[in-house]
């Protein structure tokens, strides 16, 4: 993996909230940050750990998860390149709300909390961007909690997840095609059910010709059918 040392020359420049900051702020961040390559399975921070700072995911994917009271694990989401991790904890000084673990080799930039606080005082643009990011995170958290707590079946939740992933995949040549990068166990942790249930629902979707699967490649053959499950 080629490490990108400067935010100003990163391929994500202008594409994400923190990657589209002014050159002056990015220059200041370059002086404070530490960029590291991590292998798959590395833990960036742990739920309830005292915060050290924030992490910007430059390359790769990171899994955010929390532990449930019954000992099970719930995956909150899989973050993509350009996303900021641990920001709320870094700003508030309260413990990290989740555990962050790399899903594949990643490049991650770390900024200490005290350095971030100083830059926020010096640059109103950065302070506003932080506020916007925290607001968006809160909105998304409420939406996900609503989706998990409403009395919907595992089939409804899996259908919603597959449709969201297909949109994010953005394969214009093969609409509806996506690559499954998570195991059935991890998908179960995302939608609040068991691995066995996920396997059964996948089999049911294939039987009803809602989807077609070859290895890790899934083709949504009948998106309207999946939409019907969600709307029911």
pTM: predicted TM-score of the whole model, two decimal places: 0.77
Task: Establish whether domains 7-149 and 154-231 are of one fold.
Answer: no
First to last CA, the chain: 45
List the chain domain ranges: 7-149, 154-231
> So what's the pLDDT on residue 69?
74
Give which of 120, 130, 169, 110 is closest to 17, Cα–Cα: 130
How do the residues of the chain divide into helix, strand and coil, expressed in percent and rounded to 5? 45, 20, 35
User: Which letter does DSSP use for residue 150 in this model?
Assistant: S
**What is the assigned CATH class of domain 7-149?**
mainly beta
Helices 124-149 and 154-169, axial angle in degrees (round to 10): 140
Residues 84, 17: Cα–Cα separation, whole Å: 9
Residue with tokens 């991890």: 186
Residues 81, 12: Cα–Cα separation, whole Å: 8
> So what's the pLDDT on residue 149?
63
Give which of 50, 31, 231 is closest to 119, Cα–Cα: 31
CB 37 within 8 A of CB 106: yes
- Name the token pair of 96: 């990290």
Q: What is the pLDDT along the chain (232 residues), one digit of tens a residue?
A: 566 556 656 665 555 666 777 888 888 888 888 999 999 999 999 999 999 999 999 899 999 999 877 778 889 889 988 899 999 999 999 999 999 999 999 999 999 999 999 999 999 999 998 998 899 888 888 877 776 666 578 999 899 999 989 888 777 777 889 999 899 999 999 888 899 999 999 999 999 999 999 999 999 999 999 998 887 6
CATH of 154-231, one of 1.10.10.10, 3.40.1800.10, 1.10.472.10, 3.40.50.1820: 1.10.10.10
> So what's the pLDDT on residue 38?
96
């Amino acid at each position: 993996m080629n490490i990108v040392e400067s935010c100003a020359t990163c391929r994500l420049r202008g594409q994400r909230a923190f990657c589209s900051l002014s050159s002056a702020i990015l220059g200041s961040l370059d002086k404070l940050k530490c960029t590291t390559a991590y292998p798959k399975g590395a833990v960036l921070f742990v739920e309830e750990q005292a915060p050290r700072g924030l992490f910007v995911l430059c390359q790769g994917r990171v899994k955010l998860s929390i532990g449930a009271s019954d000992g099970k694990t719930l995956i909150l989401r899989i973050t993509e390149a350009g996303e900021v991790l641990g920001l709320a904890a870094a700003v508030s000084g309260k413990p990290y709300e989740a555990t962050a673990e790399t899903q594949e080799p990643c490049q991650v930039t770390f900024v200490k909390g005290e350095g971030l606080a100083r830059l926020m005082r010096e640059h109103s643009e950065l302070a506003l961007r932080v506020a916007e990011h925290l607001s968006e995170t809160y909105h998304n958290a409420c939406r996900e909690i609503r989706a998990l707590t409403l009395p919907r079946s595992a089939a409804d939740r899996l259908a919603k997840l597959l449709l969201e992933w297909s949109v994010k995949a953005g394969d214009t040549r093969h609409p509806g095609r996506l690559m499954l990068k998570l195991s059935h166990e991890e998908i179960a942790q995302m939608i609040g059910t068991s691995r066995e249930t996920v396997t059964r629902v996948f089999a049911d979707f294939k039987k009803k010709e809602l989807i077609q699967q070859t290895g890790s490649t899934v083709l949504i053959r009948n998106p309207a059918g999946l939409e019907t499950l969600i709307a029911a």
